[in-house]
């Protein structure tokens, strides 16, 4: 049987314009798809409405075009997908995998934390809500077993969800569906076979694989590319005031992104435009050459992005 044809995706959250860190993730997923002769989709992850910025989705699409990152098909928009997420939640509720939780952030302030600083849920509501408590969120109960997973860059890894994450939220107290649920529903809906994204999401992968197993959805192949940080080691983001990608000089910026991905363009392409660099990079893309570091502090990508 032939393997499923390659479908990749880039899934930005429209909280602001793309910056150098998001460019690296976009370029990696684009090249991995194009090098495999596959399709490359774009999905707007505007799930967390309060964090989204008006106009950012359009800005992101214009930026992708300006960098020669042309996507296939229509852009899927998560804020229009509530029915699909509700159906998935109903499946989890029906099987007993999801349970209501009444705990507030304040009540969980003393709970242990993961390496990433996330609360490891202590299981307070796992066997039923305390008397008189009102359900706020929905969580998925996780097994206390060490589960293996494979990353094309990081190799074989394992995580015990109960120990390292705890029962996690699939519908938030404010009624919004959680990223973990939406991402698996949408990856399956779009037929995504290969996820290539930033290494900040590496340890989210076991949660997503677990949800796929509960929902009977296929598990794509995963690859997590280095996260570009500023010199203080912070992820580039709106909070850390990462500058938007420059509106000109895309070639030079793209060359830096390729270098960060272990694919520095040859000297002959030092003046090349974005489209030409992408043709070269698609032909030379080898995921084995992407650095395994989870974070790369790249002050030139982070700050010196003036044309």
Which of 45, 46, 48, 167 touches ligand GLU (CB under 6 A)? 45
57 near ligand GLU (CB under 6 A) = no
Applying CB under 6 A, the span of 8-16, 146-154, 220-228, 251-259 interacting with ligand GLU comes to 8-16
- Give whichever of 171 and 197 is closer to ligand GLU, judged by the CB atom: 197
Which of 7, 8, 11, 39 touches ligand GLU (CB under 6 A)? 11
CB of 201 to ligand GLU, least distance (A): 5
d(CA 32, CA 282): 8
Beta-carbon contacts of 83 under 8 Å, excluding residues fewer than 6 positions away, are: none
Applying CB under 6 A, the span of 11-19, 108-116, 144-152, 256-264 interacting with ligand GLU comes to 11-19
CB of 183 to ligand GLU, least distance (A): 5
DSSP output for 210-270: HHHHHHT-PPPEEEEEPEEE-TTSPBPSTTTTPPBPPSS-HHHHHHHHHHHTT-PPPGGGT
Question: Which of the residues 13 through 32 are near ligand GLU (CB under 6 A)?
Answer: 13
d(CA 292, CA 55): 34
Size of the site for ligand GLU (CB under 6 A): 7
Applying CB under 6 A, the span of 7-15, 86-94, 215-223, 252-260 interacting with ligand GLU comes to 7-15
DSSP code at position 203: G
- Burial class from Cβ neighbours inside 10 Å (0-12, 13-18, 19+) for residue 29 reads buried
Q: Given the rule CB under 6 A, which residues bind ligand GLU?
A: 11-13, 45, 183, 197, 201
């Amino acid at each position: 049987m032939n393997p499923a044809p390659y479908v990749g995706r880039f899934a930005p959250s429209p909280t602001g314009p793309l910056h150098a860190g998001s460019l690296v993730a976009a370029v990696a997923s684009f090249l991995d798809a194009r090098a495999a002769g596959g399709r490359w989709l774009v999905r707007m992850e505007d799930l967390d409405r309060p964090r989204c910025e008006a106009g950012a989705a359009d800005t992101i699409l214009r930026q992708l075009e300006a960098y020669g990152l042309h996507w296939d098909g229509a852009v899927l928009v998560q804020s229009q997908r509530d029915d699909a997420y509700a159906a998935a939640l109903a499946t989890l509720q029906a099987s007993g995998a999801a349970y209501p939780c009444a705990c507030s952030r304040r009540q969980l302030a003393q709970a242990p934390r993961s390496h990433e600083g996330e609360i490891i849920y202590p299981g307070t509501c796992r066997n039923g809500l305390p008397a008189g408590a009102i359900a706020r969120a929905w969580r998925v109960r996780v097994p206390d077993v060490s589960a293996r997973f494979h990353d094309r860059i990081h190799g074989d890894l394992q995580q015990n969800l109960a120990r390292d994450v705890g029962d996690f939220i699939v519908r938030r107290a404010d009624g919004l569906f959680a990223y973990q649920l939406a991402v698996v529903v949408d990856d399956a809906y779009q037929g995504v076979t290969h996820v290539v994204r930033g290494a900040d999401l590496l340890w989210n992968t076991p949660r997503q694989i677990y949800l796929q197993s509960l929902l009977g959805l296929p598990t794509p192949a995963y690859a997590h590319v280095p996260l570009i940080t500023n010199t203080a080691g912070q992820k580039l983001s709106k909070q850390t005031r990462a500058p938007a990608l420059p509106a000109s000089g895309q070639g030079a910026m793209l060359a830096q992104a390729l270098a960060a991905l272990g694919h520095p363009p040859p000297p002959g392409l030092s003046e090349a435009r974005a489209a030409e660099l992408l043709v070269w990079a698609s032909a030379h893309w080898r995921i084995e050459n992407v650095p395994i570091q989870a974070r790369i502090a790249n002050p030139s990508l982070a700050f010196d992005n003036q044309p």
